[in-house]
Amino acid sequence: MRHLTPTQAWELIQRQPDALFVDVRMEIESLYVGRPPGVENIPWYEYPDLTPDAAGFAAAVAREAGDKARTVVLICRSGKRTVDAGLALEAAGFTDVVNVLHGFEGELDEHFHRSTLSGWRAEGLPWEQM
């Protein structure tokens, strides 16, 4: 698994438009907090269980990707869920998995706020909110 900053991941997606960009957050997070444009939402876990299903997740990504050699770029809130999700994809045979470091919202600052120190939004990359 490769680990790229949000800016590096955005540049990769621009250079490689056939890459599958996956938001692993719960759908409600993706819709209400915001998400990068063009991202597919395939949750690592969902409410109310909040329990990952690695095999189910890998199967859903495989259906969307069509080919396990396709580059899959993963983003979540802070870059932690994507590590586990990426390891599950690699265990399922995916060969080019990218983790977006610090995720969409990044690390907490001294005031316990996100999107100020790191992450997709802090780096000023394109995003949308429903």
| Dist. CA 113–CA 107, nearest whole Å | 8
Looking only at the bridges linking them, the beta strands covering 20-23 and 72-75 are parallel
Which domains are delineated in the chain? 2-100 (3.40.250.10)
**Secondary structure (3-state) at 87:** helix
Q: What is the pLDDT of residues 53-94, one digit of tens each?
A: 999 999 999 999 999 999 999 999 998 999 999 999 999 999
- Residue 97's pLDDT is what? 98
**Secondary structure (3-state) at 44:** coil
The per-residue pLDDT of the chain, averaged, comes to: 94
Average pLDDT over residues 101-127: 88
Average pLDDT over residues 112-129: 88
CB distance 75 to 36 below 8 Å = yes
| Dist. CA 51–CA 49, nearest whole Å | 5
